[in-house]
């Protein structure tokens, strides 16, 4: 599959990097010569230092074999115009545009396409929805959910008080009767797909799969008990923050909003009369102390400054706030936050990459989540009749070593399979695997090898 990407910023670069690992044919078009040079030296793909809206440039990038055209520059208008031009150059290609202006996004939803864009990614809206979903589930963890099943995947840090610390998985399975799986471990910055003999160490971050009730019980054992979220402090009202305010206000939750922009605060006070709006700098220590943060169930740090978001959340937690959600874009900060006392991190840029990859894998793939900074994915497949694994025990199915089947959904029932379990046509399979193994997994489950 050939993919042409216009825009070599963080989203374009990361999308290209992940597709290259999966052996896809990728072309990146970036008009800034220095940025194009950087991409060329770091990615094994064709890079064109040119204008992505130029038909001649697009023809250099590919022809009728282009399957997807992705426009992720910093300009909504440029992205949409590029999709429109690409529609005339690549007649069979589907196009994806990253759009932040909801007016444009809604226009695309009313018809089949808008200026040639078949799909539109709205990162801030997706980030806000992720925050709301986390709030709904008590803000104890990022939550990976799958349609039509009660199986979820949560993650938690392992501190010195954790019952998982210094324990082999085979021991934990004997001691804890709840039906759960440890499906992944982040250890010293490396992602591990564990076996029964894997030992969980202090400072690891573990990913647990099971029903919501089971995960709540396990998290209570780690001291991260789910709390009913009723009182929330929102720090920073940018694009993501505005959507969050709207959603939370509709839920009737007690909401305090802090922002440094006076005009914005004035407008928010008018729009949301039931919310307490404070105009001030969150870095002002007295502001946080005066607000008695120990009364809050949750602090959401969503300013445009990710360093301030992390520090604000940590300080709020030290003053007694029960949970914290932080808005972050940098992959380095995401790794840092995973080791800190922060319950959940949300990244619009990472969400954009995941949304694009989800579109590229439409068909037998029902859901997809990138974890461990994109090193691994949790995927939901429907087993095709042409799949070579149908009827075979999993131990004989030829699954890559770095792959683990989390659950199988059959006839509406959630099953946690063992090595002798055989898949059937129509089964829904939730699997975690390292990115490099995705092409083989796709071939095994869909028969598309």
Starting at the edge strand found earlier in the chain, the sheet holding 323-327 runs 276-279, 254-259, 231-235, 298-301, 323-327, 344-346
By DSSP bridging, strand 66-71 and strand 413-415 are unpaired
Q: Provide the pLDDT for residue 110.
A: 44
pLDDT by residue (tens digit) across 226-281? 567 888 899 988 888 888 888 888 877 888 999 989 999 999 999 999 899 988 87
Q: Is the domain defined by 355-446 classed in CATH 2.60.120.590?
A: no
Class of domain 2-121: alpha beta
Q: DSSP letter string over 371-389?
A: ETTTTEEEEEEEPPTT-TT
| Contact between 369 and 350 (Cβ < 8 Å) | no
Pairwise CA distance, residues 51 & 31, whole Å: 5
User: Average pLDDT over the chain, rounded to whole?
Assistant: 83
What pLDDT is recorded for position 290? 67
**pLDDT number for residue 111:** 46
CATH 3.30.70.1450 domain extents, the chain:
140-221, 355-446
Q: Are residues 424 and 390 in contact, defined by beta-carbon separation less than 8 angstroms?
A: yes
Tens-digit pLDDT string for the chain (449 aa): 899 999 999 899 989 988 898 788 999 999 999 999 999 999 999 999 999 999 999 999 987 789 999 999 999 899 999 999 998 899 888 999 998 876 665 554 444 455 668 888 888 888 888 888 778 766 556 667 776 678 888 877 788 878 888 888 888 878 888 888 888 888 887 788 888 888 999 888 888 888 888 888 887 776 665 567 888 899 988 888 888 888 888 877 888 999 989 999 999 999 999 899 988 877 776 666 666 777 888 899 998 888 888 888 888 888 888 888 899 877 677 767 766 777 788 888 888 888 888 888 765 566 667 776 666 778 888 888 888 888 888 888 888 888 888 888 888 888 888 788 888 888 888 888 887 788 888 888 876 55
Q: How far is residue 429's CA from residue 148's CA, in Å, rounded to a whole number? A: 12
How far, in Å, CA of 190 to CA of 211, rounded? 26
**What was the pLDDT predicted at 109?**
46
**What pLDDT score does 270 carry?**
93
Q: Nearest Cα to 71, choosing from 54, 91, 86?
A: 86
The boundaries of every CATH 3.40.50.720 domain in the chain are 2-121, 228-350
- Do residues 187 and 335 make contact, with C-beta atoms less than 8 angstroms apart? no
Identify the architecture of domain 140-221 in CATH.
2-Layer Sandwich (3.30)
pLDDT in the model for residue 106: 57
Pick from 340, 97, 112, 338: which is nearest to 207 by CA? Answer: 338
State how far the Cα of 369 lies from the Cα of 357, in Å rounded to an integer: 9
Name the strands in the sheet holding 119-121, side by side, starting at the edge strand that comes first in the sequence.
46-48, 25-29, 2-6, 66-71, 94-98, 119-121
CB of 59 within 8 A of CB of 44? no
- For 228-350, which CATH superfamily applies? NAD(P)-binding Rossmann-like Domain (3.40.50.720)
DSSP secondary structure letters along 22-91? TT-EEEEE-S-HHHHHHHHHHSSSEEE-S-TT-HHHHHHH-STTEEEEEE-SS-HHHHHHHHHHHHHH-T
CA–CA separation, 39 and 16 (whole Å):
10
Select from 64, 104, 111 the least CA-distant residue to 86: 64
CA angle 176, 213, 174 (to 5 degrees): 10
Q: What is the pLDDT of residue 105?
A: 56
At residue 352, the 3 state secondary structure works out as helix
């Amino acid at each position: 599959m050939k993919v042409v990407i216009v825009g070599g910023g963080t989203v374009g670069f990361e999308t290209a990097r992940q597709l290259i690992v999966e052996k896809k044919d990728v072309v990146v078009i970036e008009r800034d010569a220095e940025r194009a040079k950087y991409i060329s030296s770091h990615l094994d793909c064709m890079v064109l230092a040119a204008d992505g809206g130029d038909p001649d440039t697009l023809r250099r990038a590919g022809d009728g074999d282009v399957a997807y055209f992705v426009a992720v520059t910093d300009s909504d208008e440029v992205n949409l115009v590029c999709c429109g031009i690409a529609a005339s150059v690549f007649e069979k290609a589907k196009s994806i545009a990253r759009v932040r202006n909801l007016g444009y996004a809604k226009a695309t939803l009313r018809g089949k396409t808008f200026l040639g864009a078949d799909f539109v990614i709205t990162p801030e809206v997706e980030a806000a929805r992720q925050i709301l979903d986390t709030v709904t589930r008590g803000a104890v963890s990022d939550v990976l959910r799958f349609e039509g099943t009660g199986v979820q995947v949560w993650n938690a840090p392992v501190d010195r008080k954790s019952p998982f610390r210094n324990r082999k998985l085979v021991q934990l399975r004997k001691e804890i009767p709840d039906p759960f799986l440890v499906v992944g471990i982040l250890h010293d910055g490396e992602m591990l797909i564990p076996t029964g003999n894997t030992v969980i160490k202090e400072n690891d971050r573990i990913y647990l799969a099971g029903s919501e009730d089971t995960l709540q019980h396990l998290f209570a054992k780690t001291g991260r008990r789910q709390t009913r979220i009723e009182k929330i402090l929102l720090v920073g009202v940018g694009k993501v923050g505005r959507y969050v305010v709207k959603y939370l206000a509709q839920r009737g939750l007690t909401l305090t909003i802090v922002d440094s922009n006076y005009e914005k605060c004035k407008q928010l006070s008018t729009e949301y009369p039931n919310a307490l709006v404070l105009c001030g700098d969150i870095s002002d220590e007295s502001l946080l102390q005066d607000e008695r943060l120990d009364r809050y169930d949750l602090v959401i740090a969503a300013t445009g400054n990710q360093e301030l978001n992390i520090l604000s959340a940590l300080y709020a937690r030290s003053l007694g706030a029960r949970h914290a959600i932080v808005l972050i874009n940098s992959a380095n900060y995401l790794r840092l936050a995973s080791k800190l006392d922060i319950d959940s991190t949300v990244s619009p840029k990472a969400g954009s990459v995941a949304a694009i990859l989800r579109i590229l894998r439409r068909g037998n793939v029902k859901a997809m989540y990138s974890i461990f900074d994109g090193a691994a994915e949790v995927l939901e497949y429907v087993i095709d009749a042409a799949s070579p694994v149908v009827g075979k025990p999993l131990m004989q199915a030829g699954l890559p070593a770095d792959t683990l089947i989390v659950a199988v959904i059959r006839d509406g029932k959630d099953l946690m399979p063992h090595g002798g379990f055989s898949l059937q046509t129509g089964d829904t399979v939730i699997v975690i695997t390292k990115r490099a193994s995705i092409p083989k997994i796709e071939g095994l489950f869909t028969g598309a090898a």
